[in-house]
A = this chain, B = another copy of it.
Amino acid sequence: MSTASATQTEHLHELSRQIRRWIIRCTSQADSGHPTSSLSSVELMVGLLFGDCFRFNLQQPDHPANDRLIFSKGHASPLFYSLWAAAGEIEPEDLMGYRTFGSRLEGHPTSRFRLTEAATGSLGQGLSIGVGMALTAKSLDRSPSRTFVLLGDSEMAEGSQWEAIQLAAHYQLDNLIGILDVNRLGQRGETMYGHDLTAYRDRIESFGWRCVLIEDGHDYDQVRRAYAALGEAGERSGKPTMLIARTIKGKGIPSLEDENGHHGKPVDQESLDQVLSQLGDPNRSIRGEIAPPVVYQPDPAASREVASVDYSLGDQVATRDAFGNALVRLADKYPRLVSLDGEVCNSTRSKRFRDQYPDRFFEMFVAEQNMVGAATGMALRGKTPFVSTFAAFLTRAFDQIRMAPYSDASIKFVGSHCGVSIGQDGPSQMGLEDIAMFRTIQNGLVLYPSDATSTEALVDLMADYDGIAYLRTTRGKLPVIYDAEETFQIGGSKVLRTSDADQVTLIAAGITLHECLSAQAMLQDRGIVARVIDLYSIKPLDHATVRQAADQSEVVFTVEDHFPEGGLGEAVLTSLSDHSTPVNCIAVRKRPLSGSPDELLDAEGISAAMIADAVTRWLIR
């Protein structure tokens, strides 16, 4: 090895000593955190960031030419923050505020620290996010940026990892590099494969990846050779790469090395000095340099005027069709809009976008967890991903969905085939929990259109929304009830039937709104006057209109093709929690079956006739 690089290796060793000090001290100070899991990755990460491999401009962290680093093993955050301290981004004294209330240095990395690429901490999510970032660089931005993902060995048991490995190979993401820290020990003991690097290599290679083994993940010669073997940014081998390194959990502190029972356990204050002394004398002033990104000019994507909608009142159009039409119509208005679908684009209707904008459509196959993880990565790289599949199957990715807000990722979800109204396919295909699931997302939108015109308007609004948004679409055709001039807004609603003498208010969205409109006519024939509200925005909800309706009627009925828990009805109950007008929530309460849509709406009591009867019974009770 040349003296130059020998000097550099000594520099990396000094950096490592200082970083190990910081890892031990900040976790000991916090009296919580994962020092041993951090110590095993030190050389892998110091070698990457400060060994001339990783390219990043600290002054322009969002620049598309920057390489990306995701800590999928988010519990190694003490190392993550220490690396940025070594790069001069974090002051050592700030490190000592790790995990304290208000610190940007949270227990697991979140967007509160500006250089966190993606929030992690729920294992098995980082590689999918990396797939989304690598796909963005390769297929959309055509930038030289490479994405590096630090993986733990325990988390390789998560199926989402294999979804990501499979898709990365399919899309030939040779700009994606996984760094697998095989430290042998999980939280409660040894992993499935212990220190057997070949077990990981055989499995990952079988999916079409290039694998490089690092027999000693603490030897800088081996680590730097592995990174050098990656070649220059922009190299195109057609294969993603996995570096698989044997490491020692707790490395650097003999008393903790490779021992079970130290996971997530900081060094106590009493033994701190004794433990630190095992690290040898640090050079406290030492810092590291990160190489600058290669020059690259992104081409600015300009928004262009698009046509307005023109459905005619009464046209029979499924809202899922209107969604497909909207993606195509809005493509030029939102040049960063991309579509991801879980092998059902002919059902969700994202196929229409795929056929016209193949370069902006990504087939994600039947692997919803990775689809959502990749969408998170694309969103964090500035795209506007629309993720579509059956509403029922979005439950598959609830963990990825709940994590997205901690990355400030702005993702648009579209769930088709909601409710029992899909009919013969039966309960496995029916989205009956999706409103409840998406309502739990902080600052998330839950939109549920009842016709084609409002669907197109809501797709436009959600594309423009900064945050998580969910659109619930319906399988069957529904009549268009709004003309093209009608305006809609987030948190809005429409009062479709009203008078000065309303006795009852019916609140619904989607297919049950149409059942309520028919019920209103039936009730009129019985001399009962009902107001009907289209609650197309379930979250946020039009508080003023709902309260006014409660003020002006004897009773409120909500009707939804969804289970009662967490649905539209409970959203209305929350809005009226301090209001005395009684509310009746009609929802899917019997076990859903196969049958015709009409039979099922009747069986669940959410058809026009059943709604009208329920209202009548209540008034004459």
The one of B103, B578, B584 in contact with A577, judged by C-beta atoms closer than 8 angstroms, is B584
Contact A192 to B170, CB < 8 A, known contacts A365-B154, A565-B440: yes
Which residues of B have CB within 8 Å of A578? 582-584
For chain A, residues 78 to 116, give those with C-beta under 8 angstroms from any C-beta of chain B: 99-103, 106-108, 110, 112
A476 at the interface (CB under 8 A from B): no
Residue among A33, A107, A370, A428 having the largest count of chain B Cβ atoms under 10 Å: A428
Q: Tell me if A437 and B398 are in contact (CB < 8 A).
A: yes
Q: Tell me if A121 and B203 are in contact (CB < 8 A).
A: no
A2-23 vs B: 1/0 string, CB under 8 Å? 0000000000000000000000
A187 at the interface (CB under 8 A from B): yes
- Nearest chain B CB to A556's CB is how many angstroms away? 9
Distance A207 CA – B192 CA, assembled complex (angstroms): 11
- Nearest chain B CB to A81's CB is how many angstroms away? 12
Q: Nearest residue in B to A406 (C-beta to C-beta)? A: B427
Q: Nearest residue in B to A205 (C-beta to C-beta)? A: B206
Distance A116 CA – B101 CA, assembled complex (angstroms): 52
Q: Tell me if A366 and B32 are in contact (CB < 8 A).
A: no
Which residues of B have CB within 8 Å of A595? 99-102
Q: Tell me if B428 and A188 are in contact (CB < 8 A).
A: no
The one of B124, B158, B187, B395 in contact with A346, judged by C-beta atoms closer than 8 angstroms, is B187
Distance A221 CA – B138 CA, assembled complex (angstroms): 48
Contact A365 to B33, CB < 8 A, known contacts A120-B428, A424-B107, A426-B107: no
A603 at the interface (CB under 8 A from B): yes
Q: Tell me if B577 and A582 are in contact (CB < 8 A).
A: yes
The one of B99, B166, B574 in contact with A424, judged by C-beta atoms closer than 8 angstroms, is B99
A358 at the interface (CB under 8 A from B): no
Which residues of B have CB within 8 Å of A539? 565
Q: Tell me if B570 and A574 are in contact (CB < 8 A).
A: yes
A376-405 vs B: 1/0 string, CB under 8 Å? 000000000000000011011011001101
Which residues of B have CB within 8 Å of A370? 159
Q: Tell me if B406 and A399 are in contact (CB < 8 A).
A: no
Q: Tell me if B396 and A399 are in contact (CB < 8 A).
A: yes
Q: Tell me if A188 and B343 are in contact (CB < 8 A).
A: yes
Which residues of B have CB within 8 Å of A429? 107-108, 121-122
Distance A396 CA – B345 CA, assembled complex (angstroms): 24
Distance A574 CA – B563 CA, assembled complex (angstroms): 13
Q: Tell me if A345 and B188 are in contact (CB < 8 A).
A: yes
A589-601 vs B: 1/0 string, CB under 8 Å? 0010111100110
A416 at the interface (CB under 8 A from B): no
Name the 10 nearest CB pairs between A and B, nearest first: A159-B159, A121-B428, A101-B595, A566-B566, A580-B580, A578-B582, A107-B426, A162-B162, A206-B206, A439-B565
Q: A101-B593, A158-B366 are in contact. List 9 more A-B contacts (CB 8 A).
A: A108-B427, A120-B428, A154-B343, A157-B163, A188-B344, A393-B399, A436-B565, A440-B565, A440-B566
Q: Would you list 28 pairs from A and B whose C-beta atoms are within 8 A, ordered by A residue?
A: A30-B424, A32-B423, A33-B424, A100-B595, A102-B593, A122-B393, A122-B428, A124-B366, A157-B365, A159-B160, A159-B163, A159-B370, A170-B192, A192-B365, A202-B206, A203-B203, A393-B399, A395-B399, A396-B398, A396-B399, A398-B398, A402-B433, A440-B566, A539-B565, A565-B566, A565-B571, A566-B566, A577-B582
